[in-house]
Structure 1
């Protein structure tokens, strides 16, 4: 959506390398074209592995893509007036993206979060010019997520020209990720399986649907957290942020998924830390959960299968949680070695899962009154 002019430079003097990375005039131009890293031994079994799309290479993470796209689209439609405020609920990464978009398009940004946001993230958002509101109490049914959304509604009512992207239900959140899918096709040529975390449903739906246009037989594996309601499990308190939900985002494309995996916090921590030690590339909760699932998938699919896993962010914001010894000890997250394979259930409502579990029946909890599987289109 953004028109970015790259700087063209003359040929370098003899003996100096030719630059391959673009030079851009605005921070928004740094978004996209992120690298792929092969994750094999020793994280994966000998001769097996997967390709990790390192979205942490964006200035703020994967949601830089959708923040810029949603803001530009709203401006084009006249929904967001010049200089009008932007307000949104976030657990962190979209807040960084909106701060970037606000800088790029000239809008003040307010983010509504909860006490679970890392102090480093709050400080960084403030440094980037965003106003941070922290809700004090969780909603009795919808938890912190609904409490944040209620506060957003209050702020919208107080100033009518304020715009909220509503990332959970905004179709632009899906459309924003088609370029990411196209990057994967250009980088890998063929993709047999996609492993992707599910939170608002945006990047899983956008990347998955675009890749299916190229590869009709693509296997799409969704990764959720225990305690999340997205795929029909009952709501429960969650440590993991960035994936999972206490509500049912309309952007989740249930028909795309061949299977879903729920991963518990200690298992995601083990995988994130193991990645850091083995491959010098890692991220937070979502990355750990996705990596654990992709590692297993690489061991069960044929060796020639080409697996793409999306790592939504990097490790920087998790120094006080995933990579903090004190935090992990206090929450019982250390010394939990995940099994070689997930447990299996036949249907999401079969039982409440508390550790890594897989299900090949994927349903929309709001429409699934008769336990009918979602239909792949």
Structure 2
């Protein structure tokens, strides 16, 4: 049989922005779930730069349409990497110089890629004593905005256009899967968890949303701690996190995410970074725990390539003691996020917004 005769024609694109979206879904079964069970993974690493190509292009397009961003004006934003790649794409698409403010945790390959794509990379060297690296980056963004009149910051943490950008992804999932009962997403800025779940609930009002956070993250009321993982979790309280939308939240530790990433690569030839590993761990648990026939979709925000020197490096992982500890097969449980600080995979079905409105307004002030 000539399989190629039945394959769909590849996308023809006039520009790189036309390659964003319409990403595939992949069935993930054993060893994450028992035979015949599993979940569908939305492979957002198939976008040119990852999942945040979607909000980067959308936020820039909407700002231009409103007149907030003038032709040729600089774009300045804080990023741990993936949004930076998306903004570099948006800068090429719409003709804007882009400055990405980041921190020493940015992987060298991503820094080189950002430079190759024409973005300027600004590195902060000291974490904020309360808000960590994220707040330090945001304060640097505010400083640079003051130095460049007419420059614009997307403010991914609080910009509602970040949330709205994910409605097309929800439409794609409905077309691909038909029905979705449970959605599993990582949570960082809160954009894709809020955007996808809101759009899906127009069609599936009983959808359950499981959030996946990092140990040491403050998003769901845990105390701030040192975080090795990037791309999920936060030291601040992003305004885009829709706490009321979540059915439950799971916190995942670095060793558990690494183990999951490597299982994905070995058994499914599809893996990614910290968020992907953490989401797969929790989605696999959901596939084992929910009734048979429950249709579970999980969002994989990126691919593995930027993590070859970290997650997929035995030397690096041994140096951070990530390969020695046993990985639990079930999460621990707490009744309330303030019950105790968790250091390993833990779930909680009580989800509330830990940041008072006044505190959130202060944290949103550095733009």
Scaled by the length of structure 1, the TM-score of the pair is: 0.92
In the other structure, the counterpart of 2:293 is 304
**Could you say if the C-alpha distance between residues 34 and 143 of structure 1 is closer, same or farther in structure 2, counting changes exceeding 3 Å?**
same
> 1-side partners of 2:277 and 2:43: how far apart?
13
Q: 2:96 aligns with which of 97, 101, 107?
A: 107
Taking the TM superposition and a 5 Å limit, the aligned residue runs for 1:311-322 are 311-322=300-311
1:146 is the counterpart of 2:135: yes
C-alpha offsets along residues 341-372 of structure 1, whole Å, 9 cap, x if unaligned?
A: 10000000010000000000000001499xxx
In the other structure, the counterpart of 1:374 is none
1:157 is the counterpart of 2:146: yes
Please identify runs of 4+ aligned residues in structure 1 that moved more than 3 A. Answer: 15-19
> Alignment partner of 1:208: what SS?
helix
> Alignment partner of 1:33: what SS?
coil
> 2-side partners of 1:97 and 1:337: how far apart?
36
Give the CA deviation at 1:235: 0.4
1:216 is the counterpart of 2:205: yes
**Could you say if the C-alpha distance between residues 19 and 216 of structure 1 is closer, same or farther in structure 2, counting changes exceeding 3 Å?**
closer
CA contact (8 A) 1:265 1:333 kept: yes
> Alignment partner of 2:323: what SS?
coil
Give the CA deviation at 1:335: 3.1
CA contact (8 A) 2:32 2:285 kept: no
CA contact (8 A) 1:343 1:356 kept: yes
C-alpha offsets along residues 175-217 of structure 1, whole Å, 9 cap, x if unaligned?
A: 0000000100010000010000000000000001111111111
Matched positions, count: 355
> 2-side partners of 1:19 and 1:49: how far apart?
26
> 1-side partners of 2:240 and 2:285: how far apart?
27
CA contact (8 A) 1:40 1:47 kept: yes
Root-mean-square deviation (Å): 1.3
C-alpha offsets along residues 149-176 of structure 1, whole Å, 9 cap, x if unaligned?
A: 1100000000111000000000000000
In the other structure, the counterpart of 1:351 is 340
1:192 is the counterpart of 2:181: yes
CA contact (8 A) 1:270 1:337 kept: no
In the other structure, the counterpart of 1:340 is 329
> 2-side partners of 1:338 and 1:149: how far apart?
35
1:234 is the counterpart of 2:234: no
CA contact (8 A) 1:270 1:336 kept: no
> Alignment partner of 1:295: what SS?
helix
Q: 1:129 aligns with which of 118, 140, 145?
A: 118
In the other structure, the counterpart of 2:30 is 41
Scaled by the length of structure 2, the TM-score of the pair is: 0.95
Unpaired stretches in structure 2, ≥5 consecutive residues: 359-367
In the other structure, the counterpart of 1:264 is 253
In the other structure, the counterpart of 1:330 is 319
> Alignment partner of 2:318: what SS?
helix
